A and B are shown apart, each in its own frame.
Chain A
Amino acid sequence: METYKLTVNGQQKEVTADPSTPLLWVLREELKMTGTKYGCGIAACGACTVHIGGQAARSCVLPVSLVNNRPIVTIEAMADDPVGRIVQNSWVDEDVVQCGYCQSGQIMSAVALLKSMRKPTDKDIEESMGANLCRCGTYVRIRQAIKAAAQQLG
């Protein structure tokens, strides 16, 4: 077991964990931040997406020992994030969610996209969101919500 100092949503956290422990389980089990979901455990569904150093990352395959000093941002911070807030509102306005399990990961990927590209095309959205799976098939509404958020972001 090792002790790690992490910056999570702007706050300093200290956790003790085995170096190979996925960040997902540090967030969920140690820090009790359960907004980030466990879907597949092999970076194949996107439900566990968080931002590491500003980039979308699958926390289920990221050992806590490899985070180092990069800031971690999770779905819990999106309400206070200028882009995250707009995306979440757009998600509600477009009634995107069905069961909702994958949606925190979907939103984290969408925010990462919109922070880098303010006017994504359909192709951009498909390429950026292609690894976030939704068993309910809400893809059309996800695309609509991203486009609506992009319009608001100007």
Chain B
Amino acid sequence: MRSVTAGILTVGLVSVAALSGTGSPRAADTASEARPASSEGLAAWQQVYSVLTHPRCLNCHTATNYPQQGEDRHRHQFNVVRGPEGRGVPGLTCATCHQGATSKATGAPNCAECHKGADLNATAVPGGHGWHLAPLSMAWQDRSNKPLSSAQVCRAVTDRTKNQNMGGPELLKHHDEAALVQYAWQPGRRPDGTARALPPLTHTQFVEATRRWIEAGMPCPQQ
């Protein structure tokens, strides 16, 4: 088992090195190309997994009745709850605060007159079109708030009964184009003015890893 893991990690490192020089994503259905070996596909999955279990993704892929916030994934402030459709409840929907884009608008018009030099964008609220929680079927954490294993997340992501019937092309499109996925790489700043943490890959690397995994037949780790 150790040797298999070491092999996966080695291929993963090679894969990261290869990905670092990639340009814009290619089309998913390049059928003429040889299918990558399963080990390469598994290594690509590990790269994808490293992003999916980052707080930027996990905070909305919760197993709880509420969203989470921050790198420590604490419960969302203000008793915000999931609601019947994952979009909050009447009077306090996700979109009550989370607008179509991360807001740079804050403070009063004359705040800068006294707060000279202050970053008045620092308290921006995260945003993206259609802000909502992932369905509970796509929870990537357990009831103890721990990320699911790589194999468990992989099984959920590839299960069409859980993932809103997405096949490979749809998953690739989701990772590439979905506004809330893209938000993870433009998360804005925390209330204290410091930058929110980014996932461990760039978005381009993430999409490319997803593509390689899909082209390899979407293999999942055994456990």
Q: Do A and B bind each other?
A: yes
Q: Chain A 1-34 against B: per-residue CB contact (8 Å), 1 yes, 0 no?
A: 0000000000000000000111001000100000
Check A43 against B105 for contact (C-beta < 8 Å): no
**Is there a chain B Cβ closer than 8 Å to A115's Cβ?**
yes
Check A130 against B106 for contact (C-beta < 8 Å): no
* Contact surface of A with B, Cβ cutoff 8 Å: 20-22, 25, 29, 38, 41-44, 49, 55-58, 60-63, 66, 109-110, 112-113, 115-117, 124, 126-131
Chain B: interface secondary structure?
loop
Check B93 against A56 for contact (C-beta < 8 Å): yes
Check B103 against A25 for contact (C-beta < 8 Å): no
Q: Contacts of B89 on A, CB cut-off 8 Å? A: 113, 124, 127-128
Q: Can you list 26 pairs linking A and B with CB atoms under 8 Å apart?
A: A20-B104, A20-B105, A22-B105, A22-B106, A25-B108, A41-B111, A42-B123, A44-B77, A55-B93, A55-B95, A56-B93, A57-B95, A57-B97, A58-B97, A58-B125, A61-B99, A61-B106, A62-B99, A109-B92, A110-B91, A112-B90, A117-B90, A127-B79, A129-B91, A131-B92, A131-B97
Check B104 against A42 for contact (C-beta < 8 Å): no
Check A113 against B97 for contact (C-beta < 8 Å): no
Q: Chain B 67-80 against A: per-residue CB contact (8 Å), 1 yes, 0 no?
A: 00000000001111
- When chains A and B are docked, how far (Å) is the Cα of A149 from the Cα of B105? 35
Check B123 against A41 for contact (C-beta < 8 Å): yes
Q: Contacts of B81 on A, CB cut-off 8 Å? A: 127
**Is there a chain A Cβ closer than 8 Å to B136's Cβ?**
no
Known: A41-B123, A66-B100. A61 touches B105 (CB 8 A): yes
* Contact surface of B with A, Cβ cutoff 8 Å: 77-81, 89-93, 95-97, 99-101, 103-109, 111, 123-125, 191
Q: Give the residue among B89, B101, B109 with the most A Cβ atoms within 10 A.
A: B89
Q: Contacts of B93 on A, CB cut-off 8 Å? A: 55-56
Check A60 against B96 for contact (C-beta < 8 Å): no
Known: A25-B108, A43-B125. A130 touches B92 (CB 8 A): yes
Least CB separation from A60: chain B residue = B106
- When chains A and B are docked, how far (Å) is the Cα of A43 from the Cα of B80? 13
Check B103 against A41 for contact (C-beta < 8 Å): no
Least CB separation from B65: chain A residue = A127
Least CB separation from A40: chain B residue = B123
Least CB separation from B79: chain A residue = A130
Q: Contacts of B125 on A, CB cut-off 8 Å? A: 42-43, 58, 61
Check B80 against A130 for contact (C-beta < 8 Å): yes
Q: Give A95 Cβ to nearest chain B Cβ, in Å.
A: 22
